[in-house]
Amino acid sequence: MLVQVLRGERVGPAPVWFMRQAGRYLPEYRELRKKASSFLEFCYTPDLAVEATLQPMRRYAFDASIVFSDILVVPHALGQDTWFVEGEGPRLEPLSDPSGLSMKGFDAHLTPVYETISRLREALPPEKALLGFCGAPWTLATYMVAGKGGGEQFPARKAAARDPEAFQAIIDLLVEACSRHLVAQARAGADALQIFDSWASALDEDGFSRWSIQAIGEIVNKVRAETNVPIIGFPRGAGAGYSRFVAETGVDAVSLDWSVPMDFARELQQRVCVQGNLDPARLVAGGPQLDAAVDRICDGLGEGPFVFNLGHGISLETPPEHVTRVIRRVKERTAR
């Protein structure tokens, strides 16, 4: 069902899944997480990654499942030292010379992710879609250059402005790597793919054209040449830039952050399927304001091709029962 909707059909009730639907807000994940000494080891252990992916599918009536992995497995597979500090987030050895990175050994490094996907495709009922994903080149580059997240991605913006040719070389390598990674996920059994440009918001207009739209457009072309699975783009915080993103990248669907106004979302929906865009803070807070926000999104977008989702990843603080309540409400509100 998710796949038809991403291709532009309107089906009722709307499919629902949540970005980061697996993970630390679930007690069963926190328990499972103890079985690996590091987060990356967890991601590269198919038994654990399969189980973490399935946990929210057992608890909730989600229509789609997203493979448990991380966007930073790509720089790691290219040879950049990458690790996660508990309670802080990702750390990488800041990239000084991209010539140290290479595609050699890339596929072998990521084999556990593909094995996780093929096992998941077998374990999930056929009506539940399985999503593969990658980070967009710009977002990956922000972590690779700075060695961590945060700070409005100043180090990467500075690097791109100072030496665009050198920065382009990093982006080109990432276009190649992300395309390979997405195609391999589709071949392993992913029914749809999402490209997370989580830090698109940090770019000015020229930067957005070159580092987000152009790079993602190239990935879309490369992936389309090899598979026909639908592709969702998520240029988080792109604002008015969402229009050009939709027109120029060729994505099948666009995921909207919570700042996108409803009228604008409906305009975008004339061209592609839209996904979104509940503020994760509303999901944490719960109560009548949550119901009202869910209704507003369903009523505004439910008539066209639409996937209900959050405007960004689920918060750690989310009470699990609020998720049940939202899914039920979306199903009622978008039924026909």
Ligand X SMILES: Cc1c2[nH]c(c1CCC(=O)O)Cc1[nH]c(c(CCC(=O)O)c1C)Cc1[nH]c(c(CCC(=O)O)c1C)Cc1[nH]c(c(C)c1CCC(=O)O)C2
Cis peptide before 94 (omega within 30 of 0): no
Residue 106 · residue 184 · CB < 8 Å: no
- Quote the CA–CA distance of 229 and 252 in Å, as a whole number: 9
Select the residue interacting with ligand X from 23, 217, 239, 286 (CB under 6 A): 23
Q: Say if residue 23 carries a ligand binding annotation.
A: yes
Q: Which is nearer to ligand X, 115 or 291 (CB)?
A: 115
The answer to the question of residue 211 lying near ligand X (CB under 6 A) is: no
For the chain, where are the E strands, in sequence order?
A: 64-66, 82-85, 89-92, 129-135, 192-197, 231-235, 253-255, 273-278, 306-310
Considering the rule CB under 6 A, would residue 156 count as an interface residue with ligand X? Answer: no
- The distance in angstroms from the start CA to the end CA of the chain is 15
The 112-151 contact track toward ligand X, x by CB under 6 A, reads: ---------------------x-x-------------x--
**10, 33, 210, 328: which one binds ligand X (CB under 6 A):** 33
**Number of residues in contact with ligand X, rule: CB under 6 A?**
23
The C-alpha atoms of residue 184 and residue 161 are separated, in whole angstroms, by 33
20 is catalytic: yes
For 128, the token pair is 């539940």
- Indicate the pairing of strand 82-85 with strand 231-235: unpaired
- Considering only residues 2, 16, 21, 254, which one is a binding residue for ligand X as defined by CB under 6 A? 21
Q: Please give, one letter per residue, the 3-state secondary structure of 16-59.
A: ECCCCCCCCCCHHHHHHHCCCCCHHHHHCCHHHHHHHHHHHHHH
Stretch that binds ligand X, among 19-27, 164-172, 185-193, 204-212 (CB under 6 A): 19-27
Residue 271 known to be catalytic: no
**CB nearer ligand X, residue 84 or residue 264:** 84
Residue 263 Cβ vs ligand X, minimum distance, rounded to whole Å: 25
Handedness of CA 273, 152, 180, 45 (dihedral sign): negative
User: Among the options 7, 33, 91, 210, which is catalytic?
Assistant: 33
Is residue 325 among the annotated active site residues? no
Write out the catalytic residue numbers: 20, 24, 33, 70, 143
For ligand X, the binding residues (CB under 6 A) are: 19-24, 33, 39, 66, 68-72, 84, 89-90, 133, 135, 149, 196, 198, 313
